[in-house]
Amino acid sequence: MSFVGALRREIVMDMPEIEVPTRRHFFCHRSGRWTTERYGRIIGEATHASRATCALWQFSMTIAAHTIRQAFDWASASISQDQPIGQGKAVPDDAPLRPSILPKNYLAEFIAGTFGPASSGRGLTDHLESEHHIRRVVNRTNLSVMAAQDLEASARRKLEEVSATRAIKFKHTIGRIVDHVASSARRDQDRPHVIREVFSLDDSAVAQQIAVRMAETRFLERLVQESAALPEGRLAGLWTASTSHFVDLEARFRSEFASFVPDCEADDAGARRPITDDKTLKIINRVFDVLAPRMFLIGHSQGGLVALRAMQLGMRRVRVGDARGFLYSPRSGRIHRYSPVALAIGLATPFDGIDRSPPEFDGGQGRALSEDGLPCLVRKLMPGIRQMVHGSTFLQTLRGAFIPSDCSAISIGNPQDGYVSLDRTRLPVGDFKNMHNLEVSSSGRFDVADMAPRVFRPAFAFWPALSFRRLLNDDARFEGLRQHCSFLVDLGANWDVDQGEIVRQIFAGESGQGVFDEMMDGVNFDGVREQLMANLLYRLRGSAPEERRHLAWMAPRLRHMIHAEELPFLNSTDKRAALALNYIEPQ
């Protein structure tokens, strides 16, 4: 029985029996059924005449109660589809389940742009939902008609929705974790071991010290007490105060958890070395991703701009109690920050703005665009178009702001796109090693019916929708639009581990070195890096010896990851790198 169902039954069982002066309906907690009684009778003493009415009423109420119970149980179950608590395991060196290109146990959301409703990203979302061994929540949202929306305001609203979603996940998860720790640890000295199991911490001295400090300070129990102020269910998004409460709660407990990480650790030779703030930030993120996973925002066209801007707007610093004040990165010269959005992916997104109008609307050639050159009515009524133009104030702010360590932004462009050219999808990588630009061509035939909500798709088989469908699908003038929207239909193949562009390029030989160095740089989101290593292991296990020898260039990079990026978790990147190295250099 679900928690909601148990609570409902507990309330009903407390209802007393009463004597009724008139004909009414009551729930008898002894029989567990609804019944009908006549004047002045006590429940359970109905006459033969009333029993037929009672039976009919009982039948109708049984159906209604069953429907309500199913609705309650579905609502409570839909909040989370987590893996069982305490099931973290090390990476086994045997044939794994076929991995996805995205990490597991995070929250992913698709944001539609101007073209297509929220359900239009069918190719991508269907692929994510078909990965049954990947447990994630996939939402499809549309920020109304994006062209008529202010993108800065849309990003702020999206950030509030992200915080509300994480708050719901947090309140549900922390209660389950504390219940698991309480039921599994019979003695106080057993609590650190159970905590290590819950958060997949290894048996290193750093992991043991973190677990002991969490147990001694009752860290998890205090999180449960603080979460009591958060509303239940998806209604949390209706209270802005609850969202801000969760954001403040997370900031305070992240700062406290930073003190649990020791200042030094011992290497294999026994020499002590300091734990850098870079590593401390990753440890904190990894632990809190178990409690309230950060989100992946995958946006098409303008939706990608909203995704990246939401990541930037959500950045917060991690305060520490010593003279530093905040976690600091000497490598970048910046104070470390974290964001509730760990990964922002733009599909055909104009990160560098649009400089020409679509050729379909300007005689087949298009014309030059500028923010000041747009009609006054367009600038006022459709701010999204103004903000997308190359050189706009919004894009200058977007491209000038950095993204924090342990987060990544990826732009995926189509060279045949007729609306957003490949050059205009480029992120300003520069010194930002966690920004990436990928080129992926359309891999299938476009059909405008695939962009429509599922309930409306049958209508495209009849006139006049059929004529409109044939126009967009077959007319040569709309080839650029078809290529622009192709990401919404056929991207699933490109996110496949066997066909995915990143893994393909790495296994292509020497040309894969640059891709590997770019995606595996330590400043990137660790979830993506770990999943990329899992994909490599999947391919290495089925590769021929000759193919493995072509990857000899990877060996020194893997050794560096093993020694320089050691994290106190079972499935961390350095552990996967060690397994990969065994295949490339068996000796």
pLDDT of residue 283: 96
Angle at 298 between CA 297 and CA 302, to 5 degrees: 105
pLDDT of residue 247: 92
Q: Decide: 151 and 384 in contact? Cβ < 8 Å.
A: yes
pLDDT of residue 457: 80
Q: Which uninterrupted H or E stretch holds 216? A: helix 205-216
Distance of CA 475 to CAs 392, 470, 552, Å?
33, 7, 49
pLDDT of residue 127: 61
pLDDT of residue 541: 86
* Residue-by-residue DSSP string for 487-512: HHHHGGGGGSTTT-HHHHHHTTSTTH
The one-letter amino acid code at 1 reads M
Q: Decide: 301 and 115 in contact? Cβ < 8 Å.
A: yes
- Strand 334-335 with 264-266, pairing: unpaired
* Exposure b/e, 202-225, CB count within 10 A at least 16 = b: bebebbbbbbbbbbeeebbeebee
pLDDT of residue 14: 33
pTM of the predicted model over 0.85: no
Angle between helix 191-198 and 205-216 (nearest 10): 110
pLDDT of residue 248: 93
Q: Which uninterrupted H or E stretch holds 173? A: helix 151-184
**Secondary structure of 112-143 in HEC code, one letter for each residue:** ECCCCCHHHCHHHHHHHHHCCCCCCEEEEEEC
For 91, counting Cβ atoms within 10 Å of its Cβ (0-12 exposed, 13-18 middle, 19+ buried), the class is middle
Per-residue pLDDT 10s for the chain (587 aa) are 433 333 233 323 333 333 333 333 333 333 344 344 333 333 333 334 444 444 444 444 434 433 443 443 344 333 333 444 544 444 444 434 555 667 777 888 888 877 655 555 665 666 666 654 444 554 555 554 556 788 999 999 999 989 988 998 899 899 999 999 999 988 889 999 999 999 999 999 999 999 999 999 999 999 999 998 887 665 555 556 668 889 999 999 999 999 999 999 987 777 889 999 999 999 999 999 999 999 999 888 888 999 999 999 999 999 887 777 888 887 777 889 999 999 999 988 999 998 887 766 665 666 778 777 787 877 787 888 889 899 999 999 999 988 899 999 999 888 888 888 899 999 998 777 899 998 877 766 777 777 776 777 888 889 998 998 898 888 888 888 888 887 776 654 555 555 555 666 777 655 678 888 888 999 999 988 988 888 888 888 888 888 888 888 899 999 999 988 899 999 899 999 999 999 998 76
Q: Take residue 519 and report the two structure tokens written for it.
A: 């995606």
Q: In whole angstroms, what is the distance from residue 392 CA to residue 379 CA?
A: 12
Q: In whole angstroms, what is the distance from residue 185 CA to residue 176 CA?
A: 14
- Strand 334-335 with 408-413, pairing: unpaired
pLDDT of residue 417: 86
Strand-pairing partners, residue 326, are 319
Q: In whole angstroms, what is the distance from residue 484 CA to residue 416 CA?
A: 8
Strand-pairing partners, residue 25, are 36
